Each structure stands twice: as structure tokens, then as C-alpha cells.
Amino acid sequence: MAKKPDLLPGTLDMLILKTLARGPLHGYGIAQSIKRLSEDVLTVEEGSLYPALQRLLLAGWLKGEWKMSETNRRARFYTLTRAGRKQLGVEISEFEQMIAAIGRVLAAPEEA
């Protein structure tokens, strides 16, 4: 079975933070949102998602709250904290720096 491309290391946290910057969501919602917005290119595997959420909770960038979902079931909704919002900024700027650097490498003319 062909494997989908992995996320760049470290980018999952950023994507989760970014997704939550638009408003509280539960785990399934976060995965769906990333999938939809990336037009099905990025699939967040559950095996990575929940450990990542625990990590972010532990770092204090997220808060989790049990609420009723749209299907009337209890679900844990994650909200970005103030520290998390700051961290998102840091991660985005770091990511952009890296993309720019990669871009420069790729843009270099090929020499014969």
C-alpha cells in the first residue's frame, strides 16, 4: 500500500495550533479541518494526533474542555491559550524562514 507523504517534522503542532486559532474544536474536528483545508493532501493520523494534543496540553498551549458536540455526544474541545497563540507566531515565523531557505536552495541555477 502506497504511503502518503509524511508531514514535515514539527509541523503537526503548528497546524494544530493554527487550526485552533480559528476557534475551539475537538480532535476529530481538527483532523477533518486540516484534511479539508489542505484539499485532502495532508492526513493527520490519529496515532500522531492524540499524542501531539497531549504534548501541547502539557506545554500549556492548549486547554481542553468537555462539551457537547454537534451530534450531542460529549467531546473534548481544545482551545488555544495565550501562550499557544504566541507559540503559533513563533512556529509560523520559523517555518517561513525554513521554507524561504529551502526555496533559495531550490531556486539556485543548475550549473553544468
Partner 1 sequence: MLSGFLKRLMLFVRRGRFRSDLDEEMAFHRAQAEREFAAQGMKAEEARYAAMRQFGNATRLREKSEEVVGFRVETVFQDVSFALRQLRRNPGFGLMAVLILALGMGVSVAIFGFVDAALIEPLPYAQPNRLVDVTEMAPGWPRSNLSLPDYEDWKRMNTTLSSLEAYGYTGYLLRMGLTTEPVNAGRVSDGFFRTLGVKPILGRNFLPGEDRPGGAKIVILPYGTWQKRFSGRANVIGQSVSLDGNNYTIVGVLPRNFVFAPEGSAEFWVPLLDKNGCDQRRDCHNLFGMGRLRDGVTVGAARADFKRIAAQLEAQYPQSNKGQGAFVQPLAELIVGDVRPILLTLLAGALLLLVIACVNVASLLLVRSESRRREIAVRGALGATRARLVRQLVTEGLLLAGAGCAAGLLIAMWTMMLLTNLVPKPMAEGMPFLSSVGLNAHTGWFAAGVALLAALLLAATPALRLAGTDVDLRNALSEGRHGSAGRFWRRLGSNLVVVELTIAVVLLAGAGLLGKSFYKLLHVEFGFDTTHLVTMDVMARSDHYKTVDQMVALYRQIEQRLQELPGVESAGITTDLPVGCNCDTNWIRIPGKPYNGQHNEVNDRQVSPEYLPALKAKLIRGRMFTENDDASHPQVIVINEALAKKYFPGEDPIGQKIADYKLDSDSIAEIVGVVGNVREGGLEQDIWPAEYEAIYRAKDTYFSVVVRTQGDEKALLPGIVSTIKKIDPEIGIQNEQTMEQQIDSTQAALLHRFATWLVGVFAALALVLGVVGLYGVIAYSVSQRTREIGVRMALGAQRGSVYALVMRQALVLTVVGLGLGLVCSVAASVLMRKMLFGVEAWDLPTLLAVVVVLGAAALAASFLPAHRAASVNPTEALRAE
Query: What's the rounded Cα separation, in Å, for the pair 10 and 32?
Result: 19
Query: What's the rounded Cα separation, in Å, for the pair 111 and 58?
Result: 49
CB of 49 to partner 1, least distance (A): 9
Residue 24, classified by CB atoms within 10 Å of its CB into exposed (0-12), middle (13-18) or buried (19+), is middle
Residue from 16, 20, 75, 88 touching partner 1 (CB under 8 A): that is 75
CB of 32 to partner 1, least distance (A): 8
Under the criterion CB under 8 A, does residue 76 sit at the interface with partner 1?
yes
Under the criterion CB under 8 A, does residue 27 sit at the interface with partner 1?
yes
CB atoms within 10 A of CB 22: 10
Q: How many residues bind partner 1 (CB under 8 A)?
A: 21
Query: What's the rounded Cα separation, in Å, for the pair 49 and 34?
Result: 11
Under the criterion CB under 8 A, does residue 51 sit at the interface with partner 1?
yes
Q: Which of residues 90-109 bind partner 1 (CB under 8 A)?
A: none
Q: Which is nearer to partner 1, 59 or 102 (CB)?
A: 59
Residue 53, classified by CB atoms within 10 Å of its CB into exposed (0-12), middle (13-18) or buried (19+), is buried
| Interacting residues with partner 1 (CB under 8 A) | 26-28, 31, 45-47, 50-51, 54-55, 57-60, 69, 71, 73-76
